[in-house]
Amino acid sequence: MIKFTSSEVRDLIIAFIVISLCFAIANAGRDMNAILHLLPMIMVGVGAGFILHELGHKFVSIKYGYWAEFKLWPQGLIFALVTSFFGFVFAAPGAVYTYANYMTDEINGKISIAGPIVNIILAIIFLAICVVIYPNALYSQTSILILNVCALGFNINSFLALFNLLPIGNLDGSKVLRWNVGIWIITIAIAGIMTYMSMTIGVENIIRLIIGY
């Protein structure tokens, strides 16, 4: 059973709100009306992506018998806010800390890769919903809204997976790379391709490629 401390719940909520705001700023610039319009939609993608990413780490840690807890990194939140005004989010608001006297590179790698894999799966789910709902988007405002929310969900989760798999500092990628080079290459390649396509051709064109429009 996964247990949460009150401070952990508080930190997750704060990080979720601030990171959602950061992605809204990065996508809308300094237009307050656009930020307020995008924020609820972005919260769906960030909410699923960020919270489930951290829960992925926590669940696998608990599976191996360790206590794990998310803790906020205030400096990371501030840096994320600053970078968002330049159109990019350095998404490091905190991390799940796993408490263990000793941990092998394999276990550490499996705990670390759990978060990015969650983001990759979520990105695929969001894209699949886009593909299913796209034919109805021409006739329904509700379908258009769902399409926009899921498109943002695909973009954000693809980016979160790629960002966290970078082999720098204390990001997940460094620990995955120490454990298994092949698995790191495969996962970062998948995340990289999805992120590249979302930033270049866009979700609508990806959908058209899939369904043959």
Report DSSP letters for 43-66, one per residue: HHHHIIIIIHHHHHHHHHHHHTT-
Is position 1 within any domain?
no
| Residues 11-61: tens digit of each pLDDT | 999 999 998 999 899 888 778 888 888 888 888 888 888 889 999 999 999
Of 164, 153, 151, give the one whose Cα is nearest residue 191.
Answer: 164
Of 157, 152, 91, 163, nearest in space to 124 by CA: 157
- Asked whether residue 127 is assigned to any structural domain, the reply reads yes
> CA nearest 187: which of 123, 120, 131?
120
The predicted model scores a pTM of 0.89
Dihedrals phi, psi of 177, to nearest 5 degrees = -65, -40
In a domain, 65, yes or no: yes
Task: Write down the catalytic residue from 8, 54, 69, 204.
Answer: 54
Residues shown for the chain: 213
Residue 143: its pLDDT value, please?
85
pLDDT for position 1: 66
Please report the beta strands in the chain, taking only residues with DSSP state E, as ranges in sequence order: 67-72, 94-99
- Strands 94-99 and 67-72, by their bridges, are antiparallel
> Residue 94 belongs to what domain range?
6-211
Note whether residue 151 is domain-resident. yes
- Per residue in 150-197, pLDDT (tens digit) is 999 999 999 999 999 999 888 899 999 999 999 999 999 999 999 999
Assess if residue 141 is contained within a domain. Answer: yes
In the residue annotation, 8 being an active-site residue is answered as no
Per residue in 96-120, pLDDT (tens digit) is: 888 888 889 999 999 999 999 999 9
- pLDDT tens digit sequence for 65-86: 899 999 998 898 899 889 888 8
Total number of domains in the chain: 1
Q: Is residue 142 part of a domain?
A: yes
